[in-house]
Structure 1
Amino acid sequence: MQPVTLAVRSVGPCLLASLLASSSACGDLAHQSEAVRISPEPLIEIGEMEGAEAYLFSSIGQAFLLEDGRVVVSDEGVNEIRVFGPDGTFLNSIGRSGEGPGEFSGVTGLWLTPDALIGLWDRGNLRISTYRPDGELVSTNRLRVEGEEEYSVTPEVLFGPFGNGDMALASLEFGGSPDTPEAIPDRWVLARFGPGGEPRGALGDLRGMRRLRGQPLPFTPLPRVAVLGDSLFAADGYEAGIDVRGPDGAVGRTIILPTDDRSADTDSVWSALEAELRARNREMYLGMLERLPRSDEFPQIGGLLADDRGLLWVKLYDAPGDALWLGHGPSMRPGAGGEWRLVRPDGDILGTVRIPDGLSPLHITYPDFGLSVSGIELLRLALRNGWILAVLPNLAMVMTCPALGRARGLIGGWVGRVLGAVAASALGLGVFNLLRPFPITVDGDLVMYGHLGLAYWAWSAAFATVAVALWLRDREWASTRPKKSLA
């Protein structure tokens, strides 16, 4: 059974970053340019090895957060959707195996619709359904592919919803056969469908996994697709490029990501794969491994997700960790752990995120609701992670309150000098950062060069403004209220 872990850590003074993932372990995550961190201990953990049936999962497919903090999880093994409260308590389930109303036969797509309903793609029944979180069926529509020549192969996988409610679905055409002596890639055909199941047009195709004699190779690329607004970001994984496709599927541009050359590590990668297969007693794969040519070409992209702030999370392929033969869940799920690039839709790379081993991200969001964390727990996290240091300089700002009154004295000059020193130091550091961006490291490795954000400049300017005001007041250059005349 697989537990679902929700880890939350503050992004700034007003936001929470939530990463919903299927995992057996949780650890630190750092996106240094935004100070995003995932707590080493999850605030919400759902799933048990033994216990009530509602908390036992056979094969977690997707998961996401509702606006009020409820967690929606699909269990593909039993064709069921489960809804849990913000504290992880089971609330209700949706669906069961079958072909009738409210029954599923292959749930491979789950999403939150623009009107806050649970959207569901049922591959086996070719149905698109929406439900209220309490389990009430709102709509169900069968995909209209009969008689459509361009959809000769039935769509299987949902890659994501567009901003207007349409969906990007894909069908699979297998590459090669048991008699094919060379490695042949699959072909994925992408298409756009409306929420009522009506076809809206083709979106092009992608190369899929490589197969040799009908069997997938261990280090085979997989198509990675994310949808943002009315654009589709697609990568076949063979190269470090992400095609940006418009509503009609035409490629408008390509985002190129920097990658590492792993050719020198070929032997060690294949040896590590063999060792891991032996440790897991994968005798079938070990037999196949002996007959495979050991290629020095590896995929470049191991995962692609879009968060609700319009950013792309791109996983750099990790060999041998992302090998298809070592997978634990659905093959289209991003690999666990590794390095992820945070990329804007225009291709600008914001930084590198390290996700701990064993953590497979499913949904990344920045909710505006509060989670029930005790004050003691929040203080403990603040002390352990250094957040408290961000509060201490602001105590100096509070000290200005007595000095802003009508009475002047030594306190006004003293506070002005303190704030002036803080402001000068902060502004100087900011100017230096503009000229020479700071190197940001994670676990000793350089991951990016970062600039200080607008919040830092606003904070520094506030200190400078108050310091100047106190300095002018101390010299009586600022206007004062005239004294009353006795005449």
Structure 2
Amino acid sequence: MITLGRHAVFVVTALIAAPASGQEIVESRAPRDPDLRLADEPLVRIGIVDGPVEYIFGNVTGAVRLADGSIVVADEQSGNVRRFDANGRHMWTSGRSGEGPGEYEGLRLLRNCREAPLTVFDWSLGRITELDLDGNVLATRSLLAAGVRPYNDPLCAPDGRLVYTPWPDDMGASYEEDLAEGDLYRWHTALESVEGDSVVTLRSGIPGAERFFIQAGASGPRWWGRDMVFAPAGAGVWYGTADDYELEHLDWTGRVIRVARWAGPDLTVTNDRVDSYREGWLAQYDDAEARRNFEREVWPDIRDQLPERFPAYEALIALPEGAFWVKTHAWLAPGEELHLLDANGAWLRRLTLPSGVVLDAGRDWVLLRQRDELGVPTVALYDLVETGG
């Protein structure tokens, strides 16, 4: 495994070998193409502090950019989905809070789903809702009725399958007799796919979320913790455990056909990075008393769970043609850093974002959740340009 500083440069960027096991190994020592950054100004920004309600967001939990340039936004606080044209003008609003058809209790938008123009996952009701491009409900189906209980949001594969990680069977209970309050452990999970009416287990026993023990039957996610992430592709599923810059590619039978390794930022925990994390949290509070409460009541727990090394990444964002972005751990460097890998796992690009959460992306654009200078939640579309451009 190659571990290098983030500014290292090599002439040869990818080495491919085929070991006796038949797995293809793709090792990238540096990105093939120049680094990317955001354009100076967004192409469009949606979200205001006061005015027409359709432009005001409470809790944006997803957004997708459609082929015509329009943007669809899921706002969980209002329980609805809204579509805006390529210039940011409101087109329609669909849905409300509730449990009936076209109503939502927990709202997520799924990307790259082929069954319907728009697909909504309701994590609270365990339900999939399909919408047409005018926001009309086409179909609703219960995942719970099929025995599917996703731990994280499910993802769509290009061939129509739904891929997800189920809730672990024992929830860490097998460790409880050896744990004391505050102890850390890591449960194991699986990758499963829904194919028609069948659920197929692609792989089990994968190291999943790192947790801290509270009491019997209760635990919480570890601050700074590693977790398993995945992204469906045409030939199967890419997944990784965030221990290092490595991902495995499973085919639809669960066989590992390819391993991708690349040289991301150094994972060493340093005081500067810890301070950056703390300052990021403090910046979310508007008054001095709230910041004091954070430092007195919350920060000690976060600080005390520091690992020896950061997780390598925390999300994969698949593109329709098979390439995918890897979002590195949020506090490895100032801003967010993403790496674009091609369909075979070779490292193509590096992108640094000064702020914001990626909701959707292509090779040359990103859709971000941000806050403006007044703290108003917004959705902003940016072109990506080469550094120095």
TM-score, length-scaled by structure 2: 0.71
Instruction: Tell me, in whole angstroms, the C-alpha distance in 2 between the residues paired with 1:138 and 1:316.
Output: 36
| Matching residue of 2:351 | 353
| Matching residue of 1:193 | 194
Assess if the C-alpha contact under 8 Å between 2:83 and 2:91 holds in 1.
yes
Aligned residue runs from structure 1 range 159-198, under 5 A: 159-173=154-168, 174-175=171-172, 179-194=180-195, 198=197
Matched, 1:239 2:244: yes
Q: 1:247 Cα shift?
A: 1.2
| Matching residue of 2:274 | 270
Q: Deviations over 1:422-444 (max 9, x none)?
A: xxxxxxxxxxxxxxxxxxx957x
Q: 1:236 to 1:262 in 2, by over 3 A?
A: closer
Assess if the C-alpha contact under 8 Å between 1:172 and 1:187 holds in 2.
no
| Matching residue of 2:6 | none
Matched, 1:257 2:265: no
Instruction: Tell me, in whole angstroms, the C-alpha distance in 2 between the residues paired with 1:269 and 1:35.
Output: 22
Instruction: Tell me, in whole angstroms, the C-alpha distance in 2 between the residues paired with 1:34 and 1:276.
Output: 28
**Greater per-residue strand proportion:** 2
Instruction: Tell me, in whole angstroms, the C-alpha distance in 1 between the residues paired with 2:95 and 2:102.
Output: 5
Query: What SS does the corresponding residue of 1:172 show, helix, strand or coil?
Result: coil
Matched, 1:106 2:106: yes
Name the count of aligned residue pairs: 318
Instruction: Tell me, in whole angstroms, the C-alpha distance in 1 between the residues paired with 2:143 and 2:307.
Output: 41
Query: What SS does the corresponding residue of 2:325 show, helix, strand or coil?
Result: strand
Q: Deviations over 1:117-164 (max 9, x none)?
A: 111222222222211121221111222656x5xx6xx22433421122
Q: Deviations over 1:289-323 (max 9, x none)?
A: 46x2643221111332122332121233243679x
| Matching residue of 1:80 | 80
Q: 1:168 Cα shift?
A: 0.7
Q: 1:284 to 1:250 in 2, by over 3 A?
A: farther
**Greater per-residue helix proportion:** 1
Could you tell me which runs of 5 or more consecutive residues in structure 1 were left unpaired when the two chains were aligned: 1-30, 323-336, 368-384, 388-440, 444-487
Assess if the C-alpha contact under 8 Å between 2:74 and 2:80 holds in 1.
yes
Assess if the C-alpha contact under 8 Å between 1:159 and 1:227 holds in 2.
no
Letter of the 1:103 counterpart: E
Matched, 1:288 2:314: no
Instruction: Tell me, in whole angstroms, the C-alpha distance in 2 between the residues paired with 1:239 and 1:104.
Output: 37
Letter of the 1:203 counterpart: L
Q: 1:112 to 1:131 in 2, by over 3 A?
A: farther
Q: Deviations over 1:437-457 (max 9, x none)?
A: xxxx957xxxxxxxxxxxxxx
Assess if the C-alpha contact under 8 Å between 2:223 and 2:305 holds in 1.
no
Assess if the C-alpha contact under 8 Å between 1:193 and 1:201 holds in 2.
yes
Q: 1:92 Cα shift?
A: 1.0
Q: 1:49 to 1:179 in 2, by over 3 A?
A: farther
Q: 1:115 Cα shift?
A: 5.8
Instruction: Tell me, in whole angstroms, the C-alpha distance in 2 between the residues paired with 1:261 and 1:253.
Output: 24
Instruction: Tell me, in whole angstroms, the C-alpha distance in 1 between the residues paired with 2:193 and 2:111.
Output: 16
Quote the RMSD (CA, aligned, Å): 3.1
Instruction: Tell me, in whole angstroms, the C-alpha distance in 2 between the residues paired with 1:112 and 1:74.
Output: 16
Letter of the 1:288 counterpart: D
| Matching residue of 2:43 | 43
Assess if the C-alpha contact under 8 Å between 2:37 and 2:351 holds in 1.
no
| Matching residue of 1:302 | 314
Q: 1:268 Cα shift?
A: 3.3
Instruction: Tell me, in whole angstroms, the C-alpha distance in 2 between the residues paired with 1:76 and 1:270.
Output: 31
Q: 1:133 to 1:124 in 2, by over 3 A?
A: same
Q: 1:46 Cα shift?
A: 0.6
Could you tell me which runs of 5 or more consecutive residues in structure 2 were left unpaired when the two chains were aligned: 1-30, 214-218, 286-290, 365-382
| 321, 339, 342: which one aligns with 1:341 | 339
Q: Which moved more, 1:57-66 or 1:33-42?
A: 33-42
| Matching residue of 1:65 | 65
Q: Deviations over 1:302-345 (max 9, x none)?
A: 332122332121233243679xxxxxxxxxxxxxx433222112
Matched, 1:365 2:366: no
TM-score, length-scaled by structure 1: 0.58
Query: What SS does the corresponding residue of 2:125 show, helix, strand or coil?
Result: coil
| Matching residue of 1:202 | 201
Query: What SS does the corresponding residue of 2:273 show, helix, strand or coil?
Result: helix
Q: 1:275 Cα shift?
A: 4.8
Query: What SS does the corresponding residue of 1:54 show, helix, strand or coil?
Result: helix
